[in-house]
Chain A
Amino acid sequence: MGVITSFISQLAIPFITEVSFLFQEQAYVMLALLTLLTFPFFKLRKRILITVLGVLLLIAVVYAAKSYYAQPRPCLTQDVRYPCEAGEPTSYQSFPSGHAAVSFLLVAATLGTPVFALYLILAFLISFTRLYLGVHTLNDVVAGIAIGIAVYALAEIIVNRFIEVWKKWKLGAS
Chain B
Amino acid sequence: METRRQLVHIFVGILMIAFALLVYQSAPTSWKEIVEAALIIFLLLGLVIIDLKLKRVKITVVDWLLDVFERPNIMPAHGALWYWVGAMLLISFTSGTRQFCSGIFILSIGDGISTIIGKRFGNHPLPHNKNKTWEGTATFFLASLPAYFFIGAAAFPLALLCALVESMNLHIDDNFTIPLACVLFFQFIA
Binding site for B on A (CB under 8 A): 2-5, 96, 107, 111-112, 116-117, 120, 124, 137-143, 145-147, 149-150, 153-154, 157, 161
Contacts and interface: CB of A to CB of B under 8 A. Distances in A.
B92 A107 contact: no
A137 B89 CA distance: 15
B25 interface: no
A76 B40 CA distance: 25
Contacts of A116: 51
A4 B41 CA distance: 14
Interface of B: 27, 29-30, 32-34, 36-37, 39-40, 43-44, 47-48, 50-51, 54-55, 81-82, 85-86, 88-89, 91-93, 171-172, 176
B47 A143 contact: no
B88 A146 contact: yes
25 contacts: A2-B33, A2-B34, A3-B33, A4-B36, A107-B47, A111-B54, A112-B51, A112-B54, A112-B55, A120-B48, A120-B51, A138-B33, A138-B36, A139-B33, A139-B36, A142-B88, A143-B93, A145-B43, A146-B85, A146-B88, A146-B89, A150-B85, A153-B82, A154-B172, A157-B171
B85 A3 contact: no
B47 A120 contact: yes
Given A142-B88, A157-B172, A5 B54 contact: no
